[in-house]
Each structure stands twice: as structure tokens, then as C-alpha cells.
Amino acid sequence: MNTSYDFDVIVVGSGMSGGWVAKEMCERGYKVAVLDRGIPLEHGDGYITEHAAPWEMPNRGLVSKEEAARDYEHVKKCYAFSEYTKHNFINDRENPFAVKDGKRFDWIRSARVGGKSLLWHRQSYRMSEADFEANKKDGHGCDWPIRYDDLAPWYDYVEKFVGISGSVENLPQLPDGVFQKPFEMNSVEKDAKVKVEEKYPGRKIIMGRCAHLTEPTDEQIELGRGPCQSRNQCQRGCSWGGYFSSLSATLPAADRTGNMTLIPNVQVQEVLHDNATGKASGVHMVDTETLQHVRITARVVFVCASTLATAHILLNSKSAKYPRGIGNVGAALGHYLMDHISDVGAYAEVEGYEDVYYQGRRPTGIYVPRFRNVTEPHEGFLRGYGFQGGAERANWWNATSKKGVGEDFKKAIRRPGTWRFGLGGFGEMLPAFENHVSLSKTTKDRWGMPLLEVSCAYGENELKMKDDMEKTAIEILRAAGFKTVHGFKNESFPGIAIHEMGTARMGHDPKDSYLNKFNQCHEVPNLFVTDGAAMASTACQNPSLTFMALSARAAHFAADQMKAGVL
């Protein structure tokens, strides 16, 4: 390793986390290479189905069962998967992984530069002080090396740039942030809020906090972003930039500095280690189109490829000093994989309200912040959960299962149907060593990298929590005054919540964690990980906002260390 590098910083991944690292490092004046296995996508013109009507699509927006089964075994289960969006999802058949020990896992992956920031549902919540303390207090998982106060200014920082709509609620379990104007509840939701909070004072119904612009700032307008149009077709792409993605915000901010080099269509296979210096020297990657193997060097390497892909790269980064993966001297790398519990809740048929409707297709719903083991204890399990959902009226889609034809039928389905209120839960999963990923010893992909093997399952605590989630969802809807209420608790498996976390967690001790309090590898000081792999616990909130805050914080720390000559 010499003093002449190809770049100052290499960032592996261009999504939620990688986009932020690229922006911060480029704005600090460093030359940055952003590497992504995805196909390049141009913000705006690249959104080929953004304005397409159903009759303009070959299959009216549906993906055939044959194609879905052949090419999209896992991603077809994602709520955002359709004929409009399938080109933004990875082809599972061409990009396989393996499950171990008979444990099913659904890995949802993007096929584009921008990663899953193009496909997420944009719910944006802070973790609380109690979330950062939970591991230490109940003994599950290693103690977080940071607390809420360490991350709070960085939450502020990213929220101002991203643009989060939401309301101030003063709830300790769900800290407030820097908000733009919230979206409005409809009449059914407003009435439900009053009734539920009257019966259960500890259970609050608030407007969902989401990364959609309602009052764009000058900075956001300068980047070409505009207010959300309430179309709720976000995963097709938003040329207005009304919702946040790295493609519409952080990557353009990095690019305008002139310091970013974006390299798509590359599979990063390993982080290179220089035994003489003890540092990472760069990465080895394969061009997925030409199959050319390339090595590039940098002073600092950030791996932000998404939780499982990051673990895959780090475990495959072997050397004489680190035969089990770069910096892997303890028992953490690849272990403590987590995802939220989901696919449970309740729905109600709502009587009345036939004289009211709503305007547009609001891109967010209501949120019920965690109350279990906060305002309402439960002896049966640790941690807790929240609910997302809302009320809406049936529309013409319901007519697809009804008999009818002709003018009278068409007139009938123009009239809105009855109201319905639904709640779906997201619950916390405890970190467990046995939930892990590893490298296949027998099978490689078409680029020569060992397949990733995943072994992950929900434990007893999660299953008990899931039972309670259904029960309390029913209670909430009945408290709202709805007479016909149905609970649901479908069998689900880790991965499908698309909130995977862990495998390279933060902590105090290299023996049971991989990263320190600045997302810096304990053993390799110029190697950083800031995506979901870094998480020491999941809380129950959607995690993307925390990934972004950690990424901005770590990037500033690394930039300061580089300026001081330490890195």
C-alpha cells in the first residue's frame, strides 16, 4: 500500500446509506467512487412507467404467475412488486442465494442504482433513548455504544435535507423531529383517534411520518425537488422528487460537487487488506457485463451495500490475517441477523360516513406508536410493536370480482363503496447469535463469488408478541366504535418486512461486535459500515431514518480523521 490512491473514498452501495456517505464526503472535498451492482437509472427520464395508465401496460399492471414464479421467487412477495416496478427489482433466478437449516428467508433486492431507496414506503421514525438502552437493560444483544443524544443532532441534520412530513406529539418512545406540514387524517381516522385515546390514554393515533415534501425548502427546490403530488405511485419513480430517494437527492448533491465517480454494474467481491499497515487498501470487483476483474484503491472504504450484501462482502474479504473475513476476530460478523415481525393486525368494516370522501391518494397513513411495555406492561414478552394503517373507501377495483357489464354497471362502480379501516403491525425482533449468514463452501454465483447462505427464524419472544399484536389491533378498532372487526395473523418469515438488520453490529467490544461507536471496524480503522448491518437492535420503528443519521455521522467522523491525517 502506497500513498497514491485511485480515490480518497470508496463507497460500496448507492442507496439509503451509501448516498448519504457520498454526499457528505464529496461536499467535504474528497474524491469519491460510488460502486453499485445495479443498472444505472436517470432520475426523471428513467422512470419509464411513472405516468403509464393500466391500459398502456401489456398486462394492465400485473405480472404473470409464470414469470413471477420463474424470475421473482422472493421479490414477488413485496408490496411494491408489479408490472410497473418489476424492472427495478433484482431477478432472483439470476442472482440466487441459499437458505440453511430449513429456515425460509425472503431477501428483497433492488436491481438499480439508488437501491431500495427507490422502492421503500418512506415511513421515517426516530429510535428513542429506551431503544438504545434496551439491550443493556434486558440482556439481549450487546450494549449500543451510542445513545439517543449522540444521534439526535444527526437526525435533525438528515431530516432537514430529506424532508419529513409529520406532527409534534411529545412522546418519549417516538421522539419528534424536524418536520414539514403533516398530511391530514380523513374523517374516519379523526373520529377513531378521539374514541381510542379516550378509552386507552396510552395508545395514540398520529399521522404517519414520511419522507414526502409538503413545504419544500430552498435547498430542496434547488436540487429540483417539488411538493408531493399525492399520487401514491412512488415506487414507479417520482420525477418531481416529492419523495426522498438517493437518486433524487443525495446522489445529485454529491454529483454537483464534481467529486463523485459513479460506477454501476459492478459486483464488489471483497475489501482488500494490507497486512503491513493494518488498513483496507481498496476493493476487488467484477464488471457484471464484461466479467472483467478490477481493483481500485482508496484511503477509506465504506461498505453500505445493504445488510446481507454487506455481510456477504465482508465475510468474503479474506486474507492471511483475517481468514474468516476482514476484521473478523470475534463472534459478531455474519451473526445476529434481525428483521421486524409483520403480517399481523386487524381490519374493520366501517358503517356510515357515506357523505364524506378524501382528495388525492395520500402517500402515508396513520401510525400507532409503541405502547406495549411503555405505557402498558406485558409480562409475556420483551420489547414492543407499533401499527400502521388507516381508513379508506372501496373503489372501482372491487368491481373486478363482481358480475356486471354495460352502462349501468359502469355508473355503479363510479360510486365509492363502504369504508374500511386496517391496522398492520411491526414488532421488534431480539438479536440472537444463531440467526446468521455464511458463505457456501460448494456453490458460487456466475461471477465466481460464493453464494450467501441465510439461517434465520423468529423466536419464542417474537411469536408471543405476534399473538398480542393481533389481540390489541382488534381492541383498538373496537374501541374506535367499529362493530365488524376481523383479526389476522398470517404465517410470515424474516426478510419480508424488508427491515433486515444486524450481521456487523456496533458495540464496545471486538469480541461480540464488529463496529465501534462511529461505525468504524474495531480492527481495521479505515473501514466503515453504516447500513442496516451496523444495527445492534431493531426497535420497532421503520429503520431507514436511523441508517441515514448513522451514515452522515460516520462520514463526518471519517472526514475529520482524514483531515487530521489519522486515516
Q: Could you report the per-residue pLDDT of 410-452, keeping only the tens digit for each?
A: 888 888 889 999 999 999 999 999 999 999 999 999 999 999 9
Instruction: Please report, in angstroms and rounded to a whole number, the separation of the first and last CA atoms in the chain.
Output: 13
Residues found in the chain = 567
Residues 307 and 346 in one domain: no
Residues 319 and 248 in one domain: yes
pLDDT reported for residue 396: 77
Alpha helical stretches, state H, 278-343 = 307-316
Give the CATH number, domain containing residue 315.
3.50.50.60
**Cβ neighbours of residue 322 closer than 8 Å, sequence gap 6 or more:** 273, 328, 329, 523
Residues 365 and 463 in one domain: yes
DSSP assignment of 368-437, as one string? Answer: E---BTTTB--TT-SS-EEEEEEEEE--GGGGGGS---SHHHHHHHHS---EEEEEEEEE-----TTSEE
- Would you say residue 325 has pLDDT above 80? yes
pLDDT reported for residue 410: 86
Residue 295 lies in a domain: yes
Residues 338-394 have pLDDT tens digits of 999 999 999 999 999 999 998 889 999 999 999 999 999 999 999 999 999 999 998
Residue 171 lies in a domain: no
Residues 518 and 437 in one domain: yes
CA–CA separation, 388 vs 374, rounded Å? 18
Residue 492: CB atoms within 10 A of its CB come to 19
Residue 561 burial by CB count (10 A; 0-12/13-18/19+): exposed, middle or buried? middle
Residues 313 and 445 in one domain: yes
pLDDT reported for residue 566: 96
- Of all residues in the chain, what percent carry a pLDDT higher than 70? 99
pLDDT confidence band for 26 (50 / 70 / 90): very high
Residues 477 and 463 in one domain: yes
**C-beta separation of 185 from 193 below 8 A:** yes
CA–CA separation, 206 vs 166, rounded Å? 9
Ramachandran category for residue 390: left, alpha or beta (phi over 0 → left; psi -120 to 50 → alpha): left
Residue 168 lies in a domain: no
Among 165-179, 194-208, 399-413, which is the least confidently predicted range?
399-413
Helix, strand, coil percentages (3-state) for the chain, rounded to 5, are 25, 20, 50
Residues 263 and 359 in one domain: no
Average pLDDT over every residue of 187-193: 98
Residue 321 lies in a domain: yes
Residues 124-134 have pLDDT tens digits of 999 999 999 99
Residue 132 lies in a domain: no
Place of cell 436540487: 223
pLDDT reported for residue 1: 37
- Would you say residue 495 has pLDDT above 80? yes
Residue 2 lies in a domain: no
pLDDT reported for residue 397: 75
**Cβ neighbours of residue 143 closer than 8 Å, sequence gap 6 or more:** 135, 136, 507, 508, 536
Q: Which SS3 state, helix, strand or coil, does residue 12 take?
A: strand
**Cβ neighbours of residue 448 closer than 8 Å, sequence gap 6 or more:** 269, 286
Residues 65 and 37 in one domain: yes
pLDDT reported for residue 567: 96
Residues 265 and 320 in one domain: yes
Average pLDDT over every residue of 531-556: 98
Residues 186 and 297 in one domain: no
CA–CA separation, 539 vs 130, rounded Å? 9
pLDDT reported for residue 15: 98
Residue 289 lies in a domain: yes
pLDDT reported for residue 2: 43
What is the rounded average pLDDT for all residues in the chain? 96
- Would you say residue 110 has pLDDT above 60? yes
Ramachandran category for residue 155: left, alpha or beta (phi over 0 → left; psi -120 to 50 → alpha): alpha
3 state SS for 488-503: EECCCCCCCCCCCECC
Q: How many domains does the chain have?
A: 2
Residues 395 and 524 in one domain: no
pLDDT confidence band for 3 (50 / 70 / 90): low
Average pLDDT over every residue of 84-99: 97
Q: CA-CA distances (angstroms) from residue 265 to 37, 244, 289, 496?
A: 5, 23, 7, 25
Residues 474 and 453 in one domain: no
CA–CA separation, 497 vs 451, rounded Å? 22
Write the DSSP symbol of residue 519.
S
- Using DSSP bridges, classify how beta strands 7-12 and 179-180 pair: parallel, antiparallel or unpaired: unpaired
Q: What is the domain extent for residue 389?
A: 178-207+342-427+459-489
3 state SS for 234-262: HHHCCCCCCECCCCCCHHHHHHCCCCEEE
Residue 147 lies in a domain: no
CA–CA separation, 528 vs 483, rounded Å? 53
